[in-house]
Amino acid sequence: MFARLSLNNGATLMKLVLLANLAATLMMTGAIWIVQVVHYPLFSRVGAEGFARYEAEHSALITLIVGPLMLAEAFTAFLLAMQPPENVSYPEVWIGLGLVAVVWLVTFFVSVPQHSILAGGFDQGAYETLVNTNWWRTLAWTARSALVLWMTVKVIGVERLLS
């Protein structure tokens, strides 16, 4: 009885972890698209005067939403990779974790260094690199959204969704 209870609790927990992962990923996808399409283009229009202050304001505020979401997404993706929810396979959760690794690597080895340059004032090269490479993150998060939604569909049950 206790073994079954434990199994059920673990299985339930992984469903909740999947939902937390889904929420973080989809919110990040909505955020990154608006940053890529609307917010980053504004950078080139701010002007040299005061740009460093603008960059500082932007970084401080965007971190408020992106920081907790990225951490929650990475933590839950790691947990899912360790123990996939029922009906979800190991390759699916490991591809999901791989895509998280892609966005983190691009963020910390490409985006953050460009932001550091821009923090000192507007730099056309850093700006273009930031915008162009942000497409990689945008696509990776979009792919993650599709993948995690697919996992959620599998956990709910395709038959139930079609009935």
Partner 1 sequence: MKFIFVINLAATLLLTGLVWTVQLMSNVILTFSSYDDFSNYPIIYMTNYPVIYIILFLILTLPLMGIEGITAIGLAFSPPEKLSRFVVWIGLALVAIGWLITFYLYIPRQGVLIDGFYQEAFEALVSAGWWRTLAWTARSVLVLWMTVKVIGWSASSPKPSI
Q: Under rule CB under 8 A, which residues in 47-66 are in contact with partner 1?
A: 47, 49-50, 53-54, 57-58, 61-62, 64-65
Nearest CA-CA partner of 48 in 123, 129, 131, 122: 122
Longest dimension (CA), the chain: 69
For partner 1, the binding residue among 26, 74, 106, 131 (CB under 8 A) is 26
Tokens of 108: 């910390």
Contact 104, 69 (CB under 8 A): no
Residue 67 interacting with partner 1 (CB under 8 A): no
> Coil, strand or helix: which one is 157?
coil
CA–CA gap between residue 84 and residue 79 (Å, rounded): 8
Q: How far is the CB of 112 from partner 1 (least distance, A)?
A: 18
Query: What's the N-to-C CA distance of the chain in angstroms?
Result: 33
CB of 70 to partner 1, least distance (A): 12
> Which parts of this chain interact with partner 1 (CB under 8 A)?
7-8, 10-12, 15-16, 19, 22-23, 26-31, 33-35, 37-39, 41-42, 45-47, 49-50, 53-54, 57-58, 61-62, 64-65, 69, 84, 86-91, 145, 149, 152-153, 155-156, 160-163
